[in-house]
A and B are shown apart, each in its own frame.
Chain A
Amino acid sequence: MLIQINNVTKKYQNHTALSHINLDIPSGIIFGLLGPNGAGKTSLIRILTQITEADEGTIHLDGNLLNRTHVQAMGYLPEERGLYKKMQVADQLLYLAELKGIPNKEARQRLKYWVDKFEIKTWLGKKVEELSKGMQQKIQFIGTVLHEPKLIILDEPFSGFDPINAQILTEEILALKEKGATIIFSTHRMDSVELLCDKIALINLSEKVLDGAVPQLKEQYKKNQFEVQFEGQLNLNQDLFNLVTSEEKYGVQKISISTQTRISNREILNHLLQSNINLLSFKEELPSMEEIFIEAVKQKNNLHHAE
């Protein structure tokens, strides 16, 4: 499902939650919505899910203006998880699917798939309150996707998952993407999504700071910084390189260097190998998402000050 968010603004009584957000989310990708707590991520999600309305701006899904019929095509996992505690697992899941317009019979059919997948047959008759936190999380995830939505919105999906279950969840998210669903993935833990997301947008203080594909952003924000490990004596060409950090352990030197100008890796290696060293490793230090975020916010602030 292709999503076009156009100039969306949302104000609450005392503060602006979103200001003039523009975003294009292509169909069939995993899109990361990143930003610190309180940046406006949940506000944007609530507008998409039509829990609230934007004050200004428009949202189009596959070219159609967002409307009530889209509700059925969406699955939403809110940050604050919740289920009816006294309700049996099966009843609960069927109820959630029925609310999305899936007839009871069909919902039962679809439930079988997930029952096998997560091996939860023995849980079906239990009340939610009898399950552990991790089990409840799985049930809620099934509730989010049981009606086979074309757009799946996950707000902090990994919070509360142990590493093993987080791995299972990651696999399921990737499988859903394979089946053609568009997935919006919101989190404040920016590094957790680098591997999973195709594209991301960074939001801070109600404004979009930047967006794009993950490799391109890394390329754009890289500082031409390299990590080199070697044994021996290195004569660093001070005209070309800056030494950022250096340390030595058991005779192995580990240094971080940056280049003044953009030069190819081949050239860098040539320079390094002119010294009589035993080169152990060489790699470019790409910025983490968090570093990119901090850098982008800084640039944006400078821009504001300059204006």
Chain B
Amino acid sequence: MLNKTFLIAKREFLTRIKKKSFLIMTLVSPLLILLFYGLIFYFTVNKSIGEENKKIAIIDNAQLLKQDLENTKTISFHFELDQTEKLNDLLSESFGYYAVLKIEKNEAGEIIYQLLAKDQPSIGLVSTIEDKIEAKLKDEQLQQKGIDKALLSQINNTRVNIETKKLTDNGFEEGNAGLTTAIGFVGAILIYFFIFLYGVQVMRGVIEEKTNRIVEVIVSSVKPFELMMGKISGIALVGLTQFLIWVGLVAALSGPVSGLVMQLMDVNPSELSAMNQGAGAAGTENTSKFGSLLAGLSNLNIPLIVGLFTFYFIAGYLFYGALFAAIGSAVDNETDTQQFMFPVTMPLVFSFVLAQTIVIQDPNSTLSIWLSMIPFSSPIIMMVRLPFGIPPLQIFASMAFMIAGFVFTVWFAGRIYRIGILTYGKKPSYKEIFKWLFQKN
């Protein structure tokens, strides 16, 4: 039996690897992903690109700001005199103001701020202006109380940097919340995309064999279950190959690409190396962060993370891949898959969203623990929880549930598959598919 499953897996693997689209996908898609995230990163770092410079006129009837307010990167402030009839003109093109900020004192002595603009100003803009004014007023009050500017800036530069240490067998060891979050998250994203991309490939492959009608010839030589397992494992090998190529590419390209990213970010490499050198000596805020980042990395249990990643990567794929195979067998063409795809992809998307929100905020909450036990969500959730440390008992329990889970879905899918591949015509209902489970061969 294994021999035939192996033959089928071999064919799946070879025909897919030989395709031109495999080469293109393997080489081009990481570049696209890099470009995609690179752009997001670039825009996030250089916020100013997304915003245009805005000129804001301030009419300070309360004499609050003393004709002085510091400009920001994107906002420049200009003080104008109050001339009611000119208010509309200020917003016209000849002045070029985006908005007019009116500050007045009412009869009760309260100060009223009004931002007048042609369109609704964004919340971001309003809060930036609020912050600027608040800071200026605070400074003024402090100075009035006799604190001079130099002392003030010293006080303002107070920084707190909390080091995280977690309890391990060796006592408290240094960790790094930022880095662990990132590593867990990358693992979760990889598993999520792998299951989705290759699960759908399994489904398409099954539909293709069914519409080609080759399937009847094949199942006269091998059992449907062998065919299904061969297909799932062959496609898994394609995915793993692609993954390994990517790891190789990342290793080879990480140097030049990070250089490019830094160039885009206007970071001078010599500055960075200076920062690196200064990491030992406690100095500026940046260097101490960088130092703890490296220390955190060395204290992560890398073999455990890699081992469990591999396990959940494969087990999660098998779990969902079998379900995708069952969907493919039940329908004649891809348009009919929508209805059946939904219940399979929903838990996957659901756990991916929860991973980014609830689980990452509290990786050891009761909900997080339960989500990491259920095989539908555990491959993704475990990756996020893993770097924060999970008790061994929970790891074993989750793995046991995962194995039981994919044994069950493979059995479940096999029952549907054996009937589905030979059933043509009308799209079956859930009720019919349920009957297939217990139908005799």
B152-160, B215-223, B287-295: which lies at the interface: B215-223
Digit string of B10-52 for contact with A (CB within 8 Å is 1, else 0)? 0100010001000000000000000000000000000000000
- Known A46-B422, A51-B216, A86-B19; further 9 A-B contacts with Cβ < 8 A: A49-B220, A53-B441, A71-B220, A78-B213, A80-B213, A83-B212, A84-B212, A96-B217, A143-B217
B-side contacts of A96, CB under 8 Å: 217, 221
CB of B118 within 8 A of chain A?
Answer: no
How far apart sit A9 and B112, CA to CA, in the bound complex (Å)? 92
Question: Is the interface on chain A under 10, 10 to 19, 20 to 34, or 35 or more residues?
Answer: 20 to 34
Task: Judge if B132 is at the interface, Cβ distance under 8 Å.
Answer: no
Q: Check B220–A53 contact: CB distance below 8 A.
A: no
In A209-239, which residues have CB < 8 Å from any B CB?
none
B440 within 8 A of A: yes
B11 pairs with A13, CB closer than 8 A: no
* Smallest CB separation, B230 vs chain A (Å): 10
25 contacts between A and B (CB under 8 A): A13-B439, A50-B220, A51-B216, A52-B422, A53-B441, A55-B440, A71-B221, A74-B220, A76-B220, A80-B213, A82-B212, A82-B213, A82-B215, A83-B212, A83-B214, A86-B19, A87-B15, A95-B7, A95-B11, A96-B217, A96-B221, A99-B4, A99-B7, A99-B8, A100-B221
B435 within 8 A of A: yes
Partner of B15, one of A13, A53, A86: A86
Q: Which residues of A contact B (CB under 8 A)?
A: 13, 46, 49-53, 55, 71, 74, 76, 78, 80-87, 95-96, 98-100, 140, 143
Q: B218: which of A52, A86, A87, A99 is its contact (CB, 8 Å)?
A: A99
Q: CA of A120 to CA of B370 in the docked complex: distance in angstroms? A: 61
A140 contacts which chain B residues (CB < 8 A)?
217
Residues of B within 8 A of A86 (CB): 15, 19
A76, B7: Cβ atoms under 8 Å?
no
> How many Å from the CB of B67 to the closest CB on chain A?
76
A82 and B214 in contact, given A96-B221, A100-B221 (Cβ under 8 angstroms): yes
Known: A51-B422, A87-B15. Is A82-B217 also a contact (CB below 8 A)?
yes
| Residues of chain A contacted by B15 (CB below 8 angstroms) | 84, 86-87
Q: A86-B15, A99-B4 are in contact. Are A51 and B212 (CB under 8 A)?
A: no
B221 proximity list for chain A (CB < 8 A):
71, 96, 99-100
A84 to B422, CA, bound (A): 17
Interface of B is mostly: helix
Closest to B19 in A: A86
Residues of B contacting A81 with CB < 8 Å? 213
A80 to B217, CA, bound (A): 10
Q: Which residue of A lies closest to B7 (CB)?
A: A98
State the total of A-B contacts with C-beta under 8 angstroms. 57
Q: Which B residues lie at the A interface, using CB under 8 A?
A: 4, 7-8, 11, 15, 19, 209, 212-222, 422, 435, 439-441
**CB-defined contacts of A83 to chain B, threshold 8 Å:** 212, 214
Chain A positions within 8 Å of B209 at CB level = 84
Among A13, A50, A80, A82, chain B packs the most CB atoms within 10 A around the CB of A82
Nearest CB of chain A from residue B114's CB, rounded to whole Å: 69
| Smallest CB separation, B231 vs chain A (Å) | 12
**What residues of B have a CB within 8 angstroms of the CB of A52 in the complex?**
422, 441
Q: Which residues of A contact B218 (CB under 8 A)?
A: 99
Task: Give Cα A98–Cα B214 distance, bound, in whole angstroms.
Answer: 15
Q: What are the residues of chain B within 8 A of A99 when measuring CB–CB? A: 4, 7-8, 218, 221-222
CA distance A99 to B221 in the complex (A): 6
Contact B7 A82 (CB under 8 A): no
- The answer to whether B212 and A53 touch across the interface, beta carbons within 8 angstroms, is no
Closest 6 CB pairs of A and B: A82-B213, A82-B214, A99-B221, A76-B220, A80-B213, A49-B220
Residues of A within 8 A of B19 (CB): 86
Q: How far is the CA of A32 from the CA of B427 in the complex (A)?
A: 34
Q: Which residues of B sit under 8 angstroms from A80, Cβ to Cβ?
A: 213, 216
Measured CA separation A84–B209 after assembly (Å): 7
B218 to chain A, nearest CB (A): 7
**Residue in B4, B8, B213, B220 whose CB lies within 8 Å of A51:** B220
Query: Which chain B residue shows the least CB distance to A82?
Result: B213
B222 touches A53 (CB 8 A): no
Most B-side CB within 10 Å, residue of A78, A98, A99: A99
C-alpha spacing A84/B7, complex, angstroms:
15
Known contacts A84-B214, A85-B212; is-contact A53 B219 (Cβ 8 Å): no
| Complexed CA–CA distance, A71 and B218 (Å) | 11
Q: Which residues of A contact B422 (CB under 8 A)?
A: 46, 51-52
Specify which chain B residues have a CB less than 8 angstroms from the CB of A74 in the assembled complex: 220
CB nearest neighbor in A for B435: A13
The complex places the Cα of A157 from the Cα of B222 at a distance, in Å, of 22
CA distance A274 to B215 in the complex (A): 67
Query: Is A51 touching B219 in the complex (CB atoms < 8 A)?
Result: yes
Which residue of the partner chain B has the closest CB to A78?
Answer: B216
Q: Give Cα distance in the complex from A51 to B227, angstroms.
A: 12
B386 to chain A, nearest CB (A): 40
* Complex: A213 Cα to B68 Cα, angstroms: 113
Contact, CB under 8 Å: B216 / A82: yes
Task: Quote the shortest CB–CB distance from B414 to chain A (angstroms).
Answer: 15
Report chain B residues within 8 Å CB of A51.
216, 219-220, 422
Residue of B15, B19, B209 with highest tally of chain A CB at under 10 A: B15
Shortest Cβ distance from A52 into B: residue: B441
A223→B213 CA distance, assembly (Å): 44
The smallest beta-carbon distance between B303 and chain A, in angstroms, is 39
Shortest Cβ gap from A59 to chain B (Å): 14
B152 to chain A, nearest CB (A): 73
Shortest CB–CB separation between residue B332 and chain A, in angstroms? 12
Residue in chain B with minimal CB distance to A71: B221
CA distance A96 to B220 in the complex (A): 10
Nearest Cβ in chain B — how far from A126, in angstroms?
A: 15
| B12 CB → nearest A CB, Å | 11
CB distance from B11 to the nearest CB of A (A): 6
Set of chain A residues within 8 Å of B435, measured between Cβ atoms: 13
**CA–CA, A74 to B217, complex, Å?**
11
Which residues from chain B contact A82 at a C-beta distance below 8 Å?
Answer: 212-217
In the bound complex, residues from chain A placing their C-beta under 8 Å from that of B11 are 95
Please report the C-alpha to C-alpha distance between residue A46 and residue B419 in the assembled complex, in whole angstroms: 13
Contact of A53 with B217 in the complex, beta carbons under 8 Å: no
Contact check, B217 vs A76: say whether CB atoms are below 8 A apart. Answer: yes
Expressed in whole angstroms, the minimum distance between the Cβ of A18 and any Cβ of chain B is: 14
Among residues of A, the one whose C-beta sits closest to the C-beta of B441 is: A53
Determine the chain B residues whose CB is within 8 A of the CB of A76 once the complex forms. 216-217, 220
Q: A53 to nearest B CB, angstroms?
A: 5
- A residues in contact with B217, CB < 8 Å: 76, 78, 82, 96, 140, 143
